[in-house]
Amino acid sequence: MKTNNLTVLADLYGCPNRCKHCWLGHMPNREMPNNSDKQIVEYFKSYFRSVTFYSWVREPDYCENYVERWQRDIQISVNAKPQRFELASFWRLVRDKNYVRFLKSVDVNTVQLTFFGTEKMTDCYVGRKGAYQELLQATEILIEHQIAPRWQVFINAENTPNIMDLLAYSKELKLSERCKAFGRDFSFFVHSGSCDGENRKLYPLRINKEDIPVELIPYYINFSEAKTEADLCRALANDGSCFTYHNESEITLNIANSFDVYFNFTHMRPEWKIGNILNDDSGELVSKIINADIPALKIARNTPVSALVKRFGNPLSHKIFDCVDDYKAYLLNEMITYSLSCHRTHGKP
């Protein structure tokens, strides 16, 4: 009996940005062959009660024919309908005047836009010149069409003063008042993000908790819950449980443009690969999904958190982690990278 529902997000078109915090990890843009969408759904559909198909895992609506694309995502999904989220392509918003109308037509009322400070810092962290100006332009386009922008800001040790400037600028633009005028809220929030994917490379720049300026604390998500690495090392030093990811009855998979299949637990790196749609038998691959049978998860199930802390934690570090699971995931990925590299070098972990 089919008991699980599946959601697949396929990287059919890629992404115009190369954000330094991208938790998925950077991958080349390569348009997947025509009919890949159908091929992916056909591969999985006999094993699941429903299959919800999304043609993007990175940038939504990045293809030229995004209206037909959205219809097709709906049409090829099985016993399910894809949803719109508070996500959109700011790249497309500033290049295609019809796009914002499309967003309205599918009931998008808020769109999240990501900053890293003001112009220089945001362009650098988004990975292309002009990104900051596009984000400002996108903000204006959204407000003009009564869609509220939500500014998400990633903070680290090098962009803090810049974020203060950005906050001041958002006030100068009167974004809150302008959104209120059409009955929506503008929000500005700050956080450090998880520590996987590209953001893992920014570990050395992760900000110390005590260095978050008091003026930004009201905007920092759950600041009172955030911990320093030292606090976490102390709290987890004797934790004998294992930190692992579980599939419940709702399973979500990310499909790379090479047809490699990943869970959406953490970054799309080789150690987390489940298999490949072109090369692997569907029954065997689905069995690995249901049984969480991949090397990274085996390591996770067999390594107590206390051992992760002992091997990879830094009890002297004041770097901030927004939640305990982000820190456990960071330690686990350190362990997995280490174990699998030992396995490749010596033949055993």
Q: Which residues bind ligand SF4 (CB under 6 A)?
A: 15, 17-19, 22, 24, 58-59
Instruction: Please count the other Cβ atoms lying within 10 Å of the Cβ belonging to residue 105.
Output: 11
Q: Kindly state the smallest distance separating residue 257's Cβ from ligand SF4, in Å.
A: 13
Q: Kindly state the smallest distance separating residue 344's Cβ from ligand SF4, in Å.
A: 27
Closer to ligand SF4 by CB, 63 or 242: give it.
63
Q: Kindly state the smallest distance separating residue 232's Cβ from ligand SF4, in Å.
A: 25
- Contact between residue 242 and residue 230 where contact means Cβ atoms under 8 Å apart: no
Q: Residue 119 is which amino acid?
A: E
Closer to ligand SF4 by CB, 59 or 61: give it.
59
Q: Which residues contact 114 (CB under 8 A, 6 or more apart)?
A: 19, 126, 135, 151, 152, 153, 154
Closer to ligand SF4 by CB, 91 or 243: give it.
91
> What is the sign, positive or negative, of the torsion defined by CA atoms of 157, 161, 166, 171?
positive
Closer to ligand SF4 by CB, 126 or 309: give it.
126
- Contact between residue 11 and residue 257 where contact means Cβ atoms under 8 Å apart: yes
CA 205 to chain centre: 19
Closer to ligand SF4 by CB, 17 or 228: give it.
17
Read off φ and ψ for residue 5, nearest 5 degrees. Answer: -100, 140
Print the SS3 string covering 203-232: HHHCCEHHHCCHHHHHHECCHHHCEEHHHH
Q: Kindly state the smallest distance separating residue 261's Cβ from ligand SF4, in Å.
A: 18
Q: Kindly state the smallest distance separating residue 292's Cβ from ligand SF4, in Å.
A: 25
Q: Kindly state the smallest distance separating residue 301's Cβ from ligand SF4, in Å.
A: 29
Strand partners, 251: 6
Closer to ligand SF4 by CB, 23 or 321: give it.
23
Closer to ligand SF4 by CB, 113 or 336: give it.
113
Q: Kindly state the smallest distance separating residue 64's Cβ from ligand SF4, in Å.
A: 18
Task: Give the helix ranges, DSSP H, for the chain.
Answer: 36-45, 66-76, 90-93, 99-105, 119-126, 131-144, 160-172, 175-180, 229-236, 282-290, 295-301, 305-312, 324-346
- Contact between residue 292 and residue 247 where contact means Cβ atoms under 8 Å apart: yes
Q: Kindly state the smallest distance separating residue 56's Cβ from ligand SF4, in Å.
A: 9
In this structure, the strands spanning 227-228 and 110-115 are: unpaired
Closer to ligand SF4 by CB, 86 or 284: give it.
86
Q: Kindly state the smallest distance separating residue 26's Cβ from ligand SF4, in Å.
A: 7
- Contact between residue 185 and residue 179 where contact means Cβ atoms under 8 Å apart: yes
Closer to ligand SF4 by CB, 18 or 343: give it.
18
Read off φ and ψ for residue 62, nearest 5 degrees. Answer: -80, -20
- Contact between residue 140 and residue 133 where contact means Cβ atoms under 8 Å apart: no
Instruction: Please count the other Cβ atoms lying within 10 Å of the Cβ belonging to residue 288.
Output: 15
